[in-house]
Every structure is written in structure tokens, then in C-alpha cells.
Structure 1
Amino acid sequence: MTFQLHPRLRQDCIEVGRFELCQLLMMNDSQYPWFILVPEKAGLREIYQLTKPERELLLEESSYLAENLATLYKADKMNIASIGNMVPQLHIHHIVRYQTDKAWPAPVWGKFDAIPYTPQQIAENLTLIKDRLGNRLN
């Protein structure tokens, strides 16, 4: 079985690049800096399905991403979660939250319709995040 990104993630997100284990996506919702890690292993639904070294690598990539997002976007709080009720493929959300965002303090899921980025905003965010993550991102 070959890895394929779930159609919903492909539809809702913009590809940023790849770490050693995970594909990095940016949710196409300009209301929140929102990124998603997807381990590029076929058939995964849960973190425990990864091997121990893969779980350790996932935690390292997630922590690296979260720390850099928090610094880059000056987060009040980082929301990190693997839910998977709508998209069963294993993926981990990394959402920068502010006490001033319109969903605060509630979760962002299902609160408001997405407001897609403009092409210019996409280009600016991709440049910003790729510059920040440096050579760890392919």
C-alpha cells in the first residue's frame, strides 16, 4: 500500500513541504495560522500504529513545528491535536491561538466557515514558514 494524502486534506490545505517523516500542510483558512503534519505512511489512523522510532520522530517534528510557529506568529497558545473524526488518516493539527481570535477560548473546529487565503497571502505565508523552518523542511 502506498501513501496517499486523504482527499479532504488535499482539498482544504496547501502543501508546504516535507520533514523526514511528515508532510507539512497549511490549512487554507486565514483566520488562524493553522498547520498540519501528516506522517507519510500508508494506512495510519492512530499514533500508536507508528513504530517507536517513528513516534519519537513525530514528536520531534511536532515540537519543532510548534515551537517555531509559536515564536513566528507570537502565539498566546498552541493547540495541537489529532482528532480524525472527519478525516481518518493520521494527521496532527498545530493551530496558533490568540486570546483575541474570534473562536477564543473555544476550539476552532466547526465554529466558523473557513476564509481562504488570497494568492498573495499564501505566497507570503509559505515564504515566512519556509524561511523559519530552514533546511529541516524539504
Structure 2
Amino acid sequence: MMRGHRRGFELDRKLNSESEPVLWLGLCELRVMNDSRWPWLILVPQRPDVEELFELTPLDLTMLTFEINLVAQALKDTTGCSKINVATLGNVVRQLHVHVVARSENDANWPGPVWGHGLRTPYRREDLHQFVETVRRAL
């Protein structure tokens, strides 16, 4: 069990298979999407059976906003990207999670969305490790 992992919380299987853990922030587990086409982080609030933002308590929603801002700033600082995209969709994975994606004019599918574009390109293990360490240092 990851440090800080809440009893009764189970990470969605798709999120678990397509992303890797980075660190525990407080409310959320921070994960990196294993797709080297974009610097892409995912925050997963450790609350069982929560699918929508409005299902969080006011305190949890405040903490989530703080953690999103923290991660978005760190990602912008470390990548030098043009734009940070933040989204909660949940059409495929119902469990509440927040995508924080660094975008640049020369990336795959700019200015279109990252979802559904081409095939996921997993990181080489050493590149994934390096990206994760860079994010950890920035936080």
C-alpha cells in the first residue's frame, strides 16, 4: 500500500495499467501517464466511490485545487511548455481523476486534444524514471 493510501480506496485498473506512481501529495496520488508524446500527470483523489468534483467535501475540493495548481506550476516550470491543460473527463474511467498535460505548438496533435489521438507511446524506462525524478524535484 502506498504511503497515505486510504482504506477502502482502490485505483481503477485502467489508470493503474496506463500510468505509474510519482508521489503522494496529501489528498491525491500523483501519477504519470505512460505516454511519451506529452508530459502528462494525473492526480487521483484517494476517496472511494467518488466520480464527480461536486461529490468531494468542500475541504477536499479546496485541497484538490491546491494540488492541481502545485502540479501544474511544476510541470510548466520543468517543461517550458506553451500551455497547461487541466481536465476531468471520466467518460472512460469513472473514478475521479484530474489530467494535467503540458502542451506545446510542436507536440502531437496540437492544438487538438490528447485523448484519442494515435497510439500511446510508452516511455523507455530510463526516460520515465528521469521525468518522474524531475517532477519530484520540482515539487
Which category of TM-score, normalised to the shorter sequence, fits these structures?
over 0.9
TM-score, scaled to structure 1: 0.94
Does residue 119 of structure 1 match 2:122? no
Supply the distance in 2 between the matched residues of 1:67 and 1:20 (Cα, whole angstroms). Answer: 17
The count of corresponding residues between Structure 1 and Structure 2 is 133
The answer for the alignment partner of 1:132 in structure 2 is 138
Q: Does 1:35 align with 2:41?
A: yes
Whole-angstrom distance in 1 between the partners of 2:13 and 2:124: 22
C-alpha separation between the residues in 1 aligned to 2:72 and 2:134? 15
Helix, strand or coil: the match of 2:70? helix
Provide structure 1 residue ranges, at least 5 long, that are not aligned to the other structure: 134-138
One-letter amino acid of the counterpart of residue 18, structure 2? D
The one-letter code matched in structure 2 to 1:113 is L
Alignment of structure 1 residues 65-84 onto 2, 5 Å? 65-84=71-90
2:53 to 47, 56, 75: 47
What is the alpha-carbon distance in structure 2 between the residues aligned to residue 97 and residue 119 of structure 1?
Answer: 22
| Other structure's SS at 1:54 match | helix
State the one-letter code of the partner of 1:59.
Answer: T
**2:42 alignment partner, SS class:** strand
Identical pairs, percent: 34
Deviation at 1:123, TM superposition (A): 1.3
- Secondary structure in structure 2 of the residue aligned to 1:9: helix
Equivalent residue of 1:115, what SS? coil
TM-score if structure 2 supplies the norm length?
0.94
Please list every run of at least 4 consecutive aligned residues from structure 1 whose deviation after the TM superposition is greater than 4 angstroms. none
Cα deviation code 1:73-119 (max 9, x no counterpart): 00100010000000000000000000111210100100110100001
Name the residue aligned to 1:136: none
Q: Distance in 1 between matches of 2:117 and 2:133?
A: 28
Q: Does residue 2 in structure 1 map to residue 2 in structure 2?
A: no
Distance between the aligned counterparts of 1:2 and 1:97, measured in 2? 35
- Give yes or no for the alignment of 1:87 onto 2:87: no
Uncovered stretches (5+) of structure 2, i.e. residues with no partner: 1-6
Q: Distance in 1 between matches of 2:53 and 2:100?
A: 15
